[in-house]
Amino acid sequence: MMKRLHIFLLSLLLAGCGAIGFVSEDTGITFIHLNDTYRVGAVEDDTRGGFSRVVTLVRLLQAQGRDVRILHGGDFLYPSLESQLWDGLQMVDAMNFLNALAPMYVTSGNHEFDRRGPEQLVAALKASEFAWVGDNFRFDTGDAEADALLKAGYTFEAGGRTVGVFALTLDETDGGNARDYLEIDKDYEGVVRRALEEFDAAGVDLVIGVTHVHMWQDVELAQLKAEYPQLAFIVGGHEHEPQYFYAEGESAPVMKGASNARVIWQIDVDFDDAGDFDVQTTRIDVDERIAFDPEYEKIVSKWNSLLLEKFPFLEARVGRAALPMDAREEQIRSSESSWGNFIADQMRVAFGEPAMDLAFLNSGTLRLDDIVQDDIRFEDIGRTFGFSSFLRHTTVTGAEFKQVMEAGYRGGPESQGYFPQISGFRVCVDRSRPEFDRIVSLQVPAADGWVEIGAEETYTLAVPDYLYGGGDGYEIPQDRFASRPASELKYLVLDAILRAQGLGKAVGEPVTRDNRRVHLLQQPKEPCFN
C-alpha cells in the first residue's frame, strides 16, 4: 500500500542543458501526466507549454535512471485550427514522437468524438503508435482492426513491476458526445470496481487511473483507495487548469494539468522490499526555463510549414488591438475578458438592425489560449474558433433568461468551459448561495442607466446553436420561434476587425470596475455595481 505522499515544488530548471533536482538516480517509475493538448507547438508566443519542453523533461529524467511513462487524459484530436484540416493526425504524429521516447498511455476525451462519423477516428487509431485505453467505453466503427486498438484492463511492465491502468471518458449526460460508433457505460464507479478486482486477482503491483471525467467524479473514485490499496493515483483531463486533491488515509491523490501542457504533473513511484509503494507528486509549470528539444522541433516545423501551405495568409495582419486582450483559457473560462466581450458584442449585431437585446456564448468555444495584442493576425481568428459556431436568435422573458444564465455560474471558481462571455446585460453573482440561485442582480441598459431585467418582459437573444440545443447545461426555452442556424461567428468577428481597420480604429475595450459586465462577489454583502 502507499506509505506516504509528498508534494514537491519544482525547485530548479536550467534552460539549455537543464537540471532537475528533485529525483535521485534509481530504478523507480516516473509518470508524466498531461491532458487537453491541442497544439503541436507551445502557446503564448512560445513562452508556455508545448510537447517540446515535455520531451526535454523526459530526457532529463531518463538520464537520471528513471523508467519514464507518459499519461494523457484525453482531448487532443479536436478542436484546433489544424484539426479542421487534418482531423487530429498532426497531434497523433506529435504523440508518436513522445511514445518513441517513453511509452504513452492515452484515454479518449469528449473531443475525440467531435466528428459524427467514425472515419476520422479510425484513421487516427490506425496511425497511433501509443496505447489507447478505455474501460467504460468501446468503439463500434465498423472497422474491426481499429476497434480492437482500444484496450480495457490494460497492464504493462515498468520498473520491474506490473502496472494496471483503468481509463474512463464522459457519458453524454455529463457533457460527452453521443455517437453511433461509441458505447459508453456511465456507471463509472462500477466499471472501476470491476477493473480493480480484476487487477487484484491478477496480482498487479499497483493501479493507476487515467480519466476524462469531472474532477468531483475523480475525487469520488479516489475514495476506493480504502478498499483497494493497490490504487496509487488518478490523473485526468477535461478541466483545463491544474487541480489537485488528496486526503491522507482516505483517498488516492488526484491530479489534472493545464491545457496545452502549460502545467503538467510528475508522479514518482518507488517500492520497498515488502512491495509497498511510495508516491511523490510534483507540479511542473512548463515555461521558458525549460528548453525546446531540437529533434521534436522538427515536428513543429513540419506542421507549421504544412499549415502555411494551406493558409499562406495566416500571419497576415487584419487589424489592431487597442489593448492586450486576454484570451488565455485560465482567464476566459473563469472571468470576463476583453476578447470575450468583443466577440459577444458581434453576436448582438449578427442579424442586422435592430440589434439583439442579449447575447452570450460559452468560453469553451474560444480556443486561442493566448493574449491578443498589437497586431491582430488572421491566425488569431482561426485559432480562436477551433470549430464552427453558427448563431441563432430567439426570444425569452426576463425571468426565463435569468434562469438560463444561472447555469453559467454553477460549480466552483475553477475555470470552466461553460463560463459565459456576455453582451447587452450585466450580472452580479454570489457563489456562496446554492447553485441555480446565485444571480443577485441581472441588469439591462435603460435611458437613464441600468435597470433590473423585467421578469415578464420579452427580449431578443442571440446564442450559438450548440447552446440553443442545450449544450454545456444551458436550457433555453424551445416553445417559440427560433431562427435557423446562420451567421458563423468567426466571420462576424473577422468582419468587425476589418471594418475597424478600414476606419483606422483599433478594437477592444478595457474591463474596469466602472464598466464590468460580470461581478463575482468576494463577500456576500459586497455591493454589486458602482
Name, in order, each residue with C-beta under 8 angstroms of 354's C-beta and a sequence gap of 6 or more: none
CB atoms within 10 A of CB 215: 19
| Helix, coil or strand: residue 242 | coil
Question: Is the per-residue pLDDT at 141 higher than 50?
Answer: yes
**C-alpha span between 5 and 10 (Å, rounded):** 16
Backbone dihedral angles phi then psi of residue 348, each to the nearest 5 degrees: -65, -25
| Helix, coil or strand: residue 59 | helix
CA-nearest of 104, 119, 53 to 74 is: 104
**C-alpha span between 19 and 12 (Å, rounded):** 7
Q: How confident is the model at residue 469 (pLDDT cuts 50, 70, 90)?
A: very high
CA-nearest of 140, 130, 139, 138 to 105 is: 130
Cell of 369: 489560449
Indicate the CATH number for domain 314-520: 3.90.780.10
- Quote the pLDDT of residue 273: 82
Question: Could you tell me if 154 and 197 are in contact, meaning their C-beta atoms sit under 8 angstroms apart?
Answer: no
- Report which residue type is found at 205: D
- Quote the pLDDT of residue 325: 96
- Quote the pLDDT of residue 272: 86
Q: Which stretches of 159-310 are assigned E, i.e. beta strand?
A: 161-169, 182-184, 206-212, 231-236, 243-245, 254-256, 263-271, 277-285
**C-alpha span between 232 and 254 (Å, rounded):** 10
Q: How confident is the model at residue 274 (pLDDT cuts 50, 70, 90)?
A: confident
Q: Where are the domains of the chain?
A: 2-297, 314-520
Average pLDDT for the chain: 92
| Helix, coil or strand: residue 518 | strand
Give residue-wise pLDDT tens across range 279-331: 999 999 999 999 999 999 999 999 999 999 999 999 999 999 999 999 999 89
Give residue-wise pLDDT tens across range 168-210: 999 999 989 999 999 999 999 999 999 999 999 999 999 999 9
Name, in order, each residue with C-beta under 8 angstroms of 214's C-beta and a sequence gap of 6 or more: 170, 174, 175, 238, 239
Give residue-wise pLDDT tens across range 5-48: 443 334 334 333 333 433 444 568 999 999 999 999 999 989 99
Task: Work out the average pLDDT over 445-459.
Answer: 95
Question: Could you tell me if 402 and 453 are in contact, meaning their C-beta atoms sit under 8 angstroms apart?
Answer: yes
- Residue 377 Cα distances to 120, 318, 498, angstroms: 29, 5, 11
What percent of the chain is modeled with pLDDT above 70? 95
DSSP 8-state secondary structure symbol assigned to residue 357? S
With b meaning 16 or more CB within 10 Å and e meaning fewer, what string describes 170-195? bbeeebbbebebbebeeebeebbbbb
**C-alpha span between 167 and 135 (Å, rounded):** 5
Per the DSSP assignment, residues forming a β-bridge with 268 are 30, 280
Q: Say what the pTM is.
A: 0.86
- Quote the pLDDT of residue 27: 60
- Quote the pLDDT of residue 17: 36
Task: Work out the average pLDDT over 212-221.
Answer: 96
Cell 477551433 identifies what position? 386
Question: Could you tell me if 25 and 65 are in contact, meaning their C-beta atoms sit under 8 angstroms apart?
Answer: yes
- Report which residue type is found at 406: E
**C-alpha span between 494 and 319 (Å, rounded):** 9
- Residue 181 Cα distances to 139, 188, 191, angstroms: 6, 20, 20
- Quote the pLDDT of residue 388: 86
Residue range 2-297 in CATH 3.60.21.10: yes
**Terminal-to-terminal C-alpha distance of the chain:** 56
User: Could you tell me the sign of the dihedral formed by the alpha carbons of 374, 377, 381, 386, in that order?
Assistant: negative
